[in-house]
Amino acid sequence: MAEQAYEEIPTDWLNDTTDYRQCFVCGTNNEVGLHLHYWQEGDQIVTEFTADERHAGFPGVLHGGLISTILDETMGRTALFTRTWVMTGRLEVRYRQPAPTGRRITFRAWLTRARRDAFESRGEARLDDGTLLADAKGLFLRVPDAVREAAAEAHPELGDYFNSALPR
């Protein structure tokens, strides 16, 4: 069976390079943010995170809410394969193992179903040795035009960014 070719997603869609950059997960201007960087590997969106004790929910264990947050953000980016900006409609996370602080965790997500206004995605968080820490599935909804336009109006530096990926 031949492997499907996936159109490359521009790096500046996966990562905000505008002057704004305030997203809690990926915004490099957000002082308390995670400053994650995203990239594409074939049909997957990928990022890595190494937590420290500031991110712990229990000593030595990454807070589950941050795992959920990173999975959510990674999975939402899979709709960019269809050139669509989305918001989370539903997210279900299964925690499999405690996620240790001080070790790199790789988050991966892939699009499982795409419709005009709704997208389903799956994701996972693993240690370098392959240990599955969490997996997730979610439903993501196309950002309504009015919301996207209002955000671009309130933050003109985001106008081109929000309007660069529009539904095909």
Classify residue 1: in a domain, yes or no: no
Classify residue 4: in a domain, yes or no: no
Band (pLDDT 50/70/90 cuts) for residue 166 is low
Distance from C-alpha of 139 to C-alpha of 133, rounded to nearest angstrom? 21
Output the domain CATH number for residue 144. 3.10.129.10
- The pLDDT tens digits for 10-50 are 898 899 888 888 999 999 999 999 999 999 999 999 999 99
Taking 50 as the threshold, does the pLDDT of residue 77 lie above it? Answer: yes
Higher pLDDT, 12 or 161: 12
Classify residue 31: in a domain, yes or no: yes
Structural domain span for residue 73? 11-164
Domain count of the fold of the chain: 1
Per-residue pLDDT at 88: 98
Per-residue pLDDT at 18: 85
On average, the pLDDT of the chain sits at 91
Q: What share of the chain is helix, strand, coil (3-state, %, to 5)?
A: 25, 35, 40
Please state the separation of Cα 52 from the chain's center in Å: 20
- The token pair at 8 is 């490359």
Mean pLDDT of 88-95: 98
DSSP letters for 120-139:
EEEEEEEETT--EEEEEEEE
pTM for this prediction: 0.92
Classify residue 3: in a domain, yes or no: no
Sequence-distant (6+) residues with CB within 8 A of 120 are 111, 112, 113, 114, 137, 138, 139, 140
Return the percentage of the chain with pLDDT > 90, whole number. 74
Classify residue 84: in a domain, yes or no: yes
